Amino acid sequence: MTTVLLLRHGRTNANLTGVLAGRSPGVELDEVGLRQAAAAAERLAPLPVRAVVSSPLRRCRQTAKAVADAGAAALAGQNGGPLPVVTEAGLIECGYGSWTGRKLSDLAKEKLWSTVQQQPSAVRFPDGEAMSEMSARATAAIRAWDQRIAAEHGDAALWVAVSHGDVIKAILADALGMHLDQFQRIMIDPASISVIHYAGNRPFVLRMNSVGQDLESLIPKPPKKAARRSASRSAATTGKKAAAKRPARTAAAKSGPQAAVGGGLGAEDLL
């Protein structure tokens, strides 16, 4: 199937100050976050991205727009302009309920904190979402988009999904075959890129938490048939050029000693 590039949003003031932003409205990228989003977009720009899908929260939409805008030149040859950013509710941040907006240092003193770290599959946040529910809907959203994009653009298609740290960790854990209780072992930094290829038999995790690695190796290679046709055309063109030059050399060679040695080839053809 397709290859998805999971991009976490850039840094926000909540990240900087240690506040659990959750689904709080109006949380935007700070100056560092804007630069991080631009850098991630620059890394993604050479890739033939077929779709940019985002959590509906503003910090993700800002990051996704940077990606779509930076990729406009590369996409122009495919569809005439930059791709729109499509929002996907399944990629929204976990619903932290009454924990939303509180300091992480204070939350770490709560009894539930230990369970969040050690057994997240058993956690439901006060007045909020269960982490298992978050994992299920995020994974379902990614797999649904994978099938949709494969149907529209083929199994070699690349696409970007912009989301949040815990959401991306849950998607990666699913792809790795890890139980949700182990997903806290995964680190996802702001504006980092993780890559999953969904094959017919299983997912393959190609990158995790990448913040500077070159991504151009992910560009799909042309189909073998197309490559063979290209090679055949190249060989035919080369052959015609060689044939056009050969009679003159052969005629010259017949009058010299190379006629007996090289079967009518000039001296340069014997080297």
pLDDT, tens digit, 9 for 90 and up, residues 205-239 = 999 999 988 899 999 887 766 545 555 555 555 55
Contact partners, residue 138, CB within 8 Å, separation at least 6: 90, 91, 163, 167, 170, 171
The pTM of the full predicted model, rounded to 2 decimals, is 0.81
**Rounded to an integer, what distance in angstroms lies between the CA atom of residue 215 and that of residue 229?**
27
* pLDDT of amino acid 222: 79
CB 182 within 8 A of CB 173: yes
Q: Which residues pair with 162 in a beta bridge?
A: 7, 54
What are the domain boundaries of the chain? 3-218, 224-270
Rounded percentage of the chain residues whose pLDDT exceeds 70: 79
**Does the structural domain 3-218 have CATH classification 3.40.630.40?**
no
**Rounded to an integer, what distance in angstroms lies between the CA atom of residue 146 and that of residue 140?**
10
The closest of 162, 183, 144 to 68, measured between CA atoms, is 162
* pLDDT of amino acid 191: 98
Helix (H) or strand (E) holding 158: strand 158-163
Angle between helices 58-70 and 31-44 (to 10 degrees): 40
Q: What are the CA-CA distances from residue 23 to residues 19, 89, 128, 181, 229 (Å)?
A: 12, 12, 11, 23, 52
Note down pLDDT in tens along the chain; length 271 residues: 899 999 999 999 999 999 999 999 999 999 999 999 999 999 999 999 999 999 999 999 999 999 999 876 555 445 566 789 999 999 999 999 999 999 999 999 999 999 999 999 999 999 999 999 999 999 999 999 999 999 999 999 999 999 999 999 999 999 999 999 999 999 999 999 999 999 989 999 999 999 988 899 999 887 766 545 555 555 555 555 555 544 444 333 333 333 332 333 333 322 2
* pLDDT of amino acid 87: 99
pLDDT, tens digit, 9 for 90 and up, residues 114-148 = 999 999 999 999 999 999 999 999 999 999 999 99
Tokens of 59: 């910090």
Count Cβ atoms below 10 Å from residue 79 Cβ, excluding itself: 9
What single-letter amino acid sits at 12? T
